[in-house]
């Protein structure tokens, strides 16, 4: 079983238009509407892959009620969400002008440290009563505490399990506080090339540039590190080994949630003891499948199997 934690879920609205005119009236067809938040998207992919999934996190207000109804209607996972004050956010993606996508994302309800520890106690009870194999914590949190994710990882390691895989698909200051800490490291992180540059305060645009930074001390102690590189594929660091993953060109409908789908696919593959090469391939294939759908975190199993045959994995020699 996989549990995914989404601190800041959303209603995701995807609009499609050939040309978006800034400062003018833009008329759209009805949007593709789905429940989002990185952990929910990853959980959806893992569930569609065949994993048993529990979703937890925070929901607020009328939009939170709507999110819960939508998730129940999907009938893919067990729900164990926590109510909070405020209003769950909307996230709008506009796909326009040759697959450019523009995002408008609300901040969502502010989550207190006490609420976070309430959630951690819930995770502890889940671990005690279910066969949890992976904990996946994904996405942003509206919190004044810039080390709250580090505190969550510390709690898991000291009060739940020292060895259970903990995937943390987060970014910005929260990720940096994790990487600077030498006591506990997450089992998996997945920055893209631009986020890698932000972490290291460098301009990183290509896979080649990213490769030269993967031996940085920040990344020691992390079991799996995936650097997503857009249509160049990805780099994966496992221990001291680095792998280059190349993907075929595909038709794209909406890339929103593709990184989350890759995380969900990775978690599913780890839970089911795939070979290392197939972990990489399945993860990337899930991201590719998601990009061919309007809904976020959605995959087609037949597509993923076909994509896996076209994805190449090459172990690189350290320079």
Q: What is the pLDDT of residue 52?
A: 97
pLDDT, tens digit, 9 for 90 and up, residues 108-139: 999 999 999 999 999 999 999 988 999 999 99
Q: Which CATH class is domain 2-17+30-316?
A: alpha beta
Provide the b/e sequence for 247-276 (b: ≥16 CB within 10 Å).
Answer: beeeeebbbbbbbbbbbbbbbbbbbeebeb
Q: Sign of torsion, CA 12 16 22 23? A: negative
Q: How far is CA 255 from the centre of its chain?
A: 13
Cα-based distances in Å from 201 to 57, 195, 204, 213: 31, 10, 9, 11
- For the chain, what is the radius of gyration of the CA atoms? 19
pLDDT of residue 169 exceeding 80, the answer is yes
Task: Determine which of 128-137, 155-164, 286-295 has the lowest per-residue pLDDT on average.
Answer: 286-295
Q: What is the pLDDT of residue 34?
A: 84
pLDDT, tens digit, 9 for 90 and up, residues 25-44: 999 998 888 898 999 999 99
pTM over 0.85: yes
Q: Where are the domains of the chain?
A: 2-17+30-316
Distance CA 174, CA 170 (A): 7
pLDDT of residue 294 exceeding 80, the answer is no
Please give the average per-residue pLDDT across 52-64, as a whole number. Answer: 97
Bridge partners (DSSP) listed for residue 102: 94
Cα-based distances in Å from 217 to 4, 26, 220, 300: 28, 48, 5, 38
Q: How far is CA 160 from the centre of its chain?
A: 22
């Amino acid at each position: 079983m996989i549990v995914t934690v989404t601190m800041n879920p959303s209603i995701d609205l995807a609009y499609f238009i050939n040309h978006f005119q800034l400062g003018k009236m833009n008329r759209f067809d009805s949007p593709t509407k789905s429940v989002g938040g990185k952990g929910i998207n990853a959980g959806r992919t893992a569930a569609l892959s065949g994993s048993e999934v529990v979703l937890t996190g925070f929901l607020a207000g009328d939009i939170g009620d709507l999110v819960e109804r939508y998730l129940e209607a999907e009938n893919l996972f067990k729900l164990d969400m926590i109510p909070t004050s405020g209003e769950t956010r909307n996230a709008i993606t506009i796909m326009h002008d040759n697959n450019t996508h523009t995002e408008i994302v609300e901040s969502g309800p502010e989550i207190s440290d006490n609420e976070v520890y309430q959630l951690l106690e819930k995770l502890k009870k889940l671990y005690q009563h279910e066969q949890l194999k992976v904990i996946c914590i994904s996405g942003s949190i509206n919190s004044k505490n810039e080390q709250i994710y580090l505190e969550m990882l510390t709690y898991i390691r000291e009060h739940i399990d020292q060895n259970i895989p903990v995937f943390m698909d987060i970014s910005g200051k929260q990720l940096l506080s994790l990487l600077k800490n030498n006591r506990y490291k997450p089992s998996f992180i997945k920055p893209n090339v631009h986020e890698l540059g932000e972490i290291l305060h460098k301009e990183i645009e290509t896979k080649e540039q990213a490769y030269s930074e993967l031996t940085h001390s920040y990344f020691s102690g992390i079991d799996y590190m995936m650097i997503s590189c857009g249509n160049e594929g990805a780099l994966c660091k496992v221990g001291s080994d680095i792998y280059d993953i190349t993907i075929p060109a595909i038709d794209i409908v909406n890339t929103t949630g593709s990184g989350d789908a890759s995380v969900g696919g990775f978690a599913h593959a780890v839970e089911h003891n795939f070979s290392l090469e197939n972990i990489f391939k399945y993860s990337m294939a899930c991201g590719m499948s998601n990009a061919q759908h309007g809904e976020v975190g959605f995959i087609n199993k037949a597509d993923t199997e076909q994509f896996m045959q076209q994805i190449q994995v090459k172990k690189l020699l350290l320079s």
